């Protein structure tokens, strides 16, 4: 039986992908992020239970479990079990700090796990994440791989780690990761990372870094060609060069890479207090508060208007977005499995 169409006019009838924040707390101390400074709240088991009938009605296929650090929610396993029993495929985005401890349970519950790893050694990791936990995170990746769900690694490229570009691919192999993906650190968007004040951290590549980064991209293309071909490196060489273009644009050297994104047409982000957003980077309108009713929030007057303005290219966030996602809405079935979405959701973890 063909699936119902996604849209009826400007209303969304289905929500194939939902991102659920399980907590605003985090045990990392990333310089790019404000969650760990201000986050206090967890999603409750009762609130998660109230979502289930709505997700069934909206035929949600994949729930991306994020935060903050989702494994800090004391009920993470019960919430994951509820969603799994409700028919959703589950994808965990984690900093990996407690993955070694939870590997067995996590691999039973999650269809895919993505670990954010921003250094290839203890010093770089600590400089970015604010913790001496590199070994612990590698241990978690290895434990999950041994337990049967090899994680994908996600690297947020920034000034303190871009020189390690090829080393990240080696590290992914050594730890048993199934794939690696790279994103640019987002410094153009004030709403990412729960920031509540001016974001002044000096994390982007500087003009003098750009030729070195370009050279390293060349090395990767030459020496890791097979990893591109096999998609072990999730992005194509062309897509990785967009990261260079992004950093160059930050310094007025050319335009930002063109963005094509319709993520808000088939997905939404739900915060721990029930506030819905159209994507990671654009805050939701005041009338998109869930109260257990996901379709109501998804099609509130404010959300419909917000989706229309995103579609019309009116949102400044989209012009500099590091994490756009495009899907053919007529053929969306099967394209939202976690392994097809490796680069999505750069804000979390």
- Binding mask of the shown chain, residues 55 to 94, with x at each position contacting ligand SF4 by CB under 6 A: -------------xx-------------------------
In the bound state with ligand SF4, the residue whose beta carbon lies nearer, of 79 and 263, is 263
Residue 290 CB, nearest approach to ligand SF4 (Å): 19
**Positions 289 through 348 that interact with ligand SF4 (CB under 6 A):** 310, 315, 317-318, 321, 323-324
In the bound state with ligand SF4, the residue whose beta carbon lies nearer, of 57 and 315, is 315
For residue 279, state whether it binds ligand SF4 (rule: CB under 6 A): yes
Judged by CB under 6 A, the residue of 33, 217, 248, 306 near ligand SF4 is: 33
Judged by CB under 6 A, the residue of 15, 30, 55, 165 near ligand SF4 is: 30
Among the residue ranges 71-79, 133-141, 216-224, 257-265, the one whose residues contact ligand SF4 (CB under 6 A): 257-265
Residue 259 CA to residue 189 CA, distance in Å, equals 14
Residue 334 CA to residue 340 CA, distance in Å, equals 9
Among the residue ranges 80-88, 105-113, 200-208, 261-269, the one whose residues contact ligand SF4 (CB under 6 A): 261-269
Residue 106 CA to residue 145 CA, distance in Å, equals 11
β-bridge mates for residue 113, sequence order: 92
Neighbours of 142 (CB within 10 A): 19
Residue 280 CB, nearest approach to ligand SF4 (Å): 6
For residue 158, state whether it binds ligand SF4 (rule: CB under 6 A): no
For residue 182, state whether it binds ligand SF4 (rule: CB under 6 A): no
Please report, as ranges, the residues that interact with ligand SF4 according to CB under 6 A.
26, 28, 30, 32-33, 35-36, 68-69, 95, 193, 259, 261, 263-264, 279, 281-282, 310, 315, 317-318, 321, 323-324, 349
């Amino acid at each position: 039986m063909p699936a119902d169409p996604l849209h009826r006019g400007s209303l969304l009838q289905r929500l194939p992908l939902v991102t659920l924040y399980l907590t605003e707390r985090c045990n990392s101390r990333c310089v790019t992020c404000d969650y760990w400074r201000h986050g206090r709240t967890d999603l409750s088991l009762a609130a998660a239970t109230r979502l289930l009938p709505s997700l069934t009605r909206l035929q949600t296929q994949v729930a991306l479990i994020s935060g903050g650090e989702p494994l800090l929610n004391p009920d993470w396993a019960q919430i994951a079990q509820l969603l799994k029993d409700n028919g959703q495929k589950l994808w965990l985005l984690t900093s990996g700090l407690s993955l070694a401890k939870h590997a067995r349970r996590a691999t039973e519950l999650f269809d895919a796990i993505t670990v954010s790893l921003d250094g290839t050694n203890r010093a770089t990791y600590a400089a970015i994440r604010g913790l001496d936990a590199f070994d612990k995170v590698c241990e978690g990746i290895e434990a999950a791989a041994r337990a049967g769900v090899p994680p994908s690694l996600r690297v947020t490229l920034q000034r303190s780690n871009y020189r390690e570009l090829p080393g990240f691919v080696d590290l992914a192999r050594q730890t048993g990761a199934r794939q690696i993906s790279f994103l640019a650190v987002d410094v153009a968007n004030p709403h990412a990372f729960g920031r509540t004040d001016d974001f002044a951290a000096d994390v982007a590549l500087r003009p003098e870094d750009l030729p070195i980064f370009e050279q390293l991209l060349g090395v990767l293309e030459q020496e890791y060609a097979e990893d591109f071909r096999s998609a072990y490196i999730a992005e194509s060489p062309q897509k990785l060069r967009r990261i260079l273009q992004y950093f160059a644009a930050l310094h007025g050297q050319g335009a930002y890479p063109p963005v094509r994104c319709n993520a808000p047409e088939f997905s939404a982000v739900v915060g721990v207090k029930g506030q819905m957003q159209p994507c990671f980077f654009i805050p939701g309108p005041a009338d998109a508060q869930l109260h257990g009713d996901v379709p109501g929030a998804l099609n509130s007057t404010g959300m419909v208007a917000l989706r229309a303005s995103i579609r019309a290219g009116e949102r400044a966030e989209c012009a500099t977005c590091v994490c756009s996602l495009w899907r053919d809405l007529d053929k969306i079935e099967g394209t939202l499995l976690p392994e097809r979405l490796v680069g999505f959701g750069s804000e979390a973890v």
